[in-house]
Structure 1
Amino acid sequence: MRLTCDVELVNRLLPSFNLKKASRSCRAQVSLGKKPASSSKDGALFLMVCTAKDRNGVKFLVKGNIEQIFGKFVSDGKATIRIRDPQQDVCISKADPLQLKNILNLIHQASQGKDLDRTALSALTPASARQVEKPKTKMTILTRKDYPLTTTFPSSLESLQVSQCSMKRIDQRILQLSKLKILNLSHNSLQSLPESYGRIYSLYELYVNNNQLTKLPISLCRSSLSTSLVVLDISENQITTLPLELCELKQLVTLKADKNDLKSLPATIGKLIHLKSVSVAHNKLAILPAGLTRLQLDHLDLYCNPLELQQTESVIMSQLTFPTLVECCARSIKKYRVPYTDEDLFPQLCQYLDSARHCWCGNYCFQCCARYIATVDLRRVSATVTAWDNVGTKLVPVEAFLCSQNCLTKFQNNSVAYWK
């Protein structure tokens, strides 16, 4: 029986001599078994703790030598085994709860002298370096020769960077790293991102800048990353449009899309309520969505985009049309927040519902609406703005929509009310 965990050996005699040892645990292997060459009948059971500094291990006799086992937090992978001689406590943490429970049960039985001959016990041999090394949580690969072709990625990885390796597609082994939190695949030759993200459930930073991507797949926005991704960097690619589904990345805080071929931003970008930093410099944006004004950003970078101001403060570009039955139903679904998935509706209808536009009154509209362009000072949107300076201000054109004749009339009577 072997258990890999963190262990701290505490000498209980130190306080009586006014001595105190700094509390520090290390990666270790805890084994329960008999010494090599011991017979099965008279061989005594020992508890052995092997660490990286002492791979031969420290052995504690079990029978009649276990004073108490503290297992209140065994479900959290924590327990303490109190030894009589020597007077030490074996403090276990970061252990698998099920394995920990099993070994504690065997230790308890062995301490009372019960027969464990039918139980498969470990031979008390020195641990290998791999068994007591601290799990690797970070890996950086900057050349092709360092890329692991014959070996696997450590399953304990939390941060992985693979750059300058001419990678054309993401290795499926990377998508099986369930503990991965930061994935950096910048400066490669990626032409597309995968449709499925395997066992990656808690990724909060994704860097795919400096690649050859032409689009951002919808699957990325609707995967498990939709509730975990905080930072997304897709700058220096060849992306021409961002899907509306991007706004399903509910926890997104930082979006970097510099040096692409973007001609527009998602109309529903205002749904990203946690967004604090947006960088879309060196693109082809001529107009911004009105939803952007709903955000409270810390930084907004629009440098080197062909944003052109209108001659007048607001211009109505198209008139209202009579709403269709489909639009009436869609407006009701969005208004009353009726939940829907791809299993409930056709994908085309889901995409139609996701394309909902916000009117200045707060209601939703789709195809049947009046489109207009207004001028907005970006200092209302972000604390720090990088953009073309227009006579000392940061004025840009934004595109917005009016859902009804009533909203259109109010807009015509006072077109600047909403933007004050």
Structure 2
Amino acid sequence: MKAPGNHWSLMLWHQDSLIMNTDLWKAISVAKREKHRKLFLNYKSLCKFPPELLKDGGSEYLEHIYMKMNSLTTLPDNLGQKLPNLTELYLHSNNIAVVPEAIGTLVKLQSLDLSNNVLAILCPEIGQLKSLRHLRLANNQLRFLPSEIGDLKELQTLDVSTNCLTTLPESLHLCFSLQYLAADRNHLADLPRQLCMLQNLNELSVTSNSLKCLPQDLGRYPELQYVYVDNNLELYGLPSFLYNKVIGHSGCGSSVQSEEMKLSFTNRQLTITVSEEIQTIGTENDTVPPLQEIIMRTIYNFYHTSKKGLDPLSPNSLPRNLCELLFYPLGHCHHCSQPMFTIVYPKCFPLTETPMAALYNGRTKMCFVAYCCSTKCLQVFDLLS
């Protein structure tokens, strides 16, 4: 025999559930009947997508659906068919583990928020959302992003913070409209150099990762104004193109440097890691760059000055890694803009000697690192002039 208290609690819960279901059915019915564009279903304790919403007609007028703080675990396969005009789907704080392939049928979707769920995989069909402008995936369990994300040409906002990412896809540079990229609190060891080609990127936040170096060209385009790399403990060098940008780097350069490091150079007892793609670090005594570098620069200049449509390279002309470098160089000389492919001539400018130092009062070991293409540029370039 159940205790009276438990009996009344069960009755009250059942009564509340009936009231909630009645309110839910009423809200959906009114929205469909009156052809509403917005439907608010936040905090409704939903365990599945309401079937009433996808039955009969009326839902085709909906453009915005908000379903925050429910218990959804997946989405129905016929969303695109039943909600053809949907532009915003807000699913923050649910238990969604799987996004069906049918998500790609929401051809008018502009904003998708799947933050605070339990996603481990993002299906490649996400790339079919050609109208998508804002994609928020923070606080999930994603280990990688599909390369198809590069098909989102209209994407302006991408937030993948607090996941399990170890890398970002190189195809992100094809998201030409991207303005805001956040990948805080992941396990990123580096960033693809292709990110530097995002000419519209205004803010980049990659705090609390495992970064030891940043792409040389980061900040080369003037649109990038805000860069946050705080709490990357083994990051000691900032690309000189970030000079005079708004930079957050609290907690960087604060760890004991590891003996096992990528290619690096030492300046004033400070060891700065550079990209493992760099084959050689040049010094003031190196008067001639390596032959491979000279050849790559020659081919690059010929390719980019030749008449439109003339391709001097066949698919087998160069090894694959060098062919990729030809289109996406490691960086450009801060002094003369010469592209660099295998070698750099680094020159450090301690933060304590720059205007940024006033913000930190000498409490940091960070340096700006200018990457030059030759001994000549290395000797004449001065970041502070």
- Give the TM-score of the pair, scaled to structure 1: 0.56
Structure 1 counterpart SS, 2:171:
helix
Question: Aligned-residue CA RMSD in angstroms?
Answer: 4.0
Residue of structure 2 in register with 1:143 after alignment: 94
What is the match of residue 320 of structure 1? 286
Which of structures 1 and 2 has the bigger CA Rg? 1
Please state how far the C-alpha of 1:54 moved relative to its aligned partner: 8.6
Residue in 1 that maps onto 2:201: 252
- Report the alpha carbon displacement of residue 172 of structure 1 after superposing the two structures with TM: 3.8
Shift of 1:240: 0.8
Give the letter for the 1:373 counterpart.
C
In the alignment, is residue 302 of structure 1 matched against residue 249 of structure 2?
yes
Given the alignment, which residue of 182, 185, 188 partners 2:140?
188
Q: Which has the higher helix share?
A: 2
Tell me which residue corresponds to 1:163.
115
Counterpart mapping for 1:19-418 below 5 A: 53=34, 128-134=57-63, 135-141=85-91, 142-144=93-95, 154-197=106-149, 200-221=152-173, 223=174, 225=175, 227-283=176-232, 284-293=234-243, 296-297=244-245, 299-306=246-253, 318=283, 319-320=285-286, 322-333=288-299, 338=304, 346-353=319-326, 354-368=329-343, 370-376=345-351, 388-390=360-362, 396-408=366-378, 410-411=379-380, 417-418=382-383
C-alpha separation between the residues in 2 aligned to 1:184 and 1:364?
34
Report the alpha carbon displacement of residue 342 of structure 1 after superposing the two structures with TM.
9.8
SS in 2 for 1:291: helix
How far 1:402 sits from its partner (Å)?
4.1
Equivalent pair of 1:320/1:370 in contact (CA under 8 Å): no
> In 2, distance between residues paired with 1:368 and 1:258?
28
Q: Which amino acid aligns with 1:358?
A: C
Find the residue that maps to 1:209 and give its secondary structure: coil
What's the CA shift for 1:290? 2.3
Per-residue deviation, 1:386: 9.7
Cα distance in 1 between the residues matched to 2:351 and 2:339: 21
Is 1:156–1:179's contact at 8 Å kept on the other side of the alignment?
Answer: yes
Q: CA contact under 8 A between 1:243 and 1:266: conserved in structure 2?
A: yes
Displacement of 1:355: 1.1
| Letter of the 1:197 counterpart | I
Q: Deviations over 1:191-224 (max 9, x none)?
A: 0110223853311111111000011121222x3x
CA drift of 1:331 comes to 2.5
Q: TM-score, normalised by structure 2?
A: 0.61
C-alpha distance in 2, partners of 1:322/1:257?
A: 37
Please give the secondary structure, in 2, of the residue aligned with 1:399: strand
Q: 1:139 to 1:337 in 2, by over 3 A?
A: same
Q: Which amino acid aligns with 2:95?
A: R
Displacement after TM superposition at 1:335 (Å): 5.4
Number of residue pairs the alignment of both structures matches: 282
Residue segments in structure 1 that go unaligned for 5+ positions in a row: 1-50, 56-126
**Contact 2:108/2:129, CA 8 A, preserved across alignment:** yes
Task: Go from structure 1 to structure 2 and tell me whether the alpha carbon gap of 1:370 and 1:186 turns closer, same or farther (over 3 Å shift).
Answer: closer
Higher mean C-alpha deviation, range 344-353 or range 244-253? 344-353
Instruction: Tell me how far apart the structure 2 counterparts of residues 386 and 177 of structure 1 sit (CA, whole Å).
Output: 45
| Residue in 1 that maps onto 2:18 | none
**CA, structure 1 residues 146+389, in 2 after alignment: closer, same or farther (shift >3 Å)?**
same
> Residues 378 and 365 (structure 1 numbering): CA distance in 2 closer, same or farther, change over 3 Å?
same
Cα 1:201–1:378 shift into 2, 3 Å: farther
- CA 1:376–1:337 in 2, change beyond 3 Å: closer, same or farther? farther
More deviation in 268-277 or 348-357?
348-357
Deviates more, 1:182-191 or 1:338-347: 338-347
Taking the aligned partners of 1:362 and 1:146, their CA distance within structure 2 comes to 46
> Is residue 199–residue 223 contact of structure 2 (8 Å, CA) maintained in 1?
yes
2:89 aligned counterpart, secondary structure: strand
Distance 2:199 2:143 in 1: 26
Q: Distance in 2 between matches of 1:197 and 1:349?
A: 25
* 1:280–1:301 Cα contact (<8 Å) kept: yes
How far apart in 2 are the matches of 1:364 and 1:157?
39
Q: Is the 8 A contact 1:304 1:387 kept in 2?
A: no
Higher strand share: 1
Unaligned runs of 5+ in 2: 1-31, 37-55, 64-84, 256-265, 273-280, 306-310
